[in-house]
Amino acid sequence: MPRPSLTVLREVHQSLREWLCEARHSPESPAYAPGVLQQISQKLDQVDQALRDAPAAVTEVDGWKAELAAYGETLREVRARLANLDIALRIHAAQMGQARMQLSAVRSWSDLAKQIG
């Protein structure tokens, strides 16, 4: 039997709040472990489906509206956290590219020195 839409919304909302708490705690936390972002994506898909499946009578209940508003606020925080992660990853990738270029230059000079010597 499928879970009620409000239950899905609450469970995913709680899960996202826990993830945000972990991510705030440390930039090296398990919040960024492989597969975690995929799990978040799957949970967002669950909410999307729950929103589509929610009966009109449920969406008019004040508890639903309040939970949806809180979920929306949490989503804004998740978006900001992921945007910061994206920036950090781009910076890291640029730094790695520079390090590769420097290593390549050192190897080229080393090879040249071997050929001369």
Residue 3: phi and psi, rounded to 5, are -75, 145
Structure tokens, 38: 């995929």
The Cα-based distances of 57 to 17, 29, 53, 67, 72 in angstroms read 27, 41, 12, 15, 20
* Residue 113 placed within a domain: no
* Residue 107 placed within a domain: no
* Residue 110 placed within a domain: no
* Residue 103 placed within a domain: no
H-helix segments, the chain: 5-25, 36-53, 56-59, 62-116
- The reported pTM is 0.71
Number of structural domains in the chain: 1
Q: Which domain holds residue 61?
A: 5-91
| pLDDT on residue 1 | 47
* Residue 97 placed within a domain: no
User: 110 in helix, strand or coil?
Assistant: helix
Tens-binned pLDDT, residue by residue, of the chain (117 aa): 467 888 999 999 999 999 999 888 876 666 677 788 899 999 999 999 998 988 888 888 888 899 999 999 999 999 998 888 888 888 888 888 888 888 787 788 887 777 886
On whether the CB atoms of residues 22 and 85 are closer than 8 A, the answer is no
8-state DSSP, 32: G
* Residue 33 placed within a domain: yes
Provide the sign of the torsion angle of the four alpha carbons 55, 57, 60, 63, taken in this order.
negative
In angstroms, rounded to a whole number, what is the distance separating the alpha carbons of residues 105 and 117?
Answer: 18
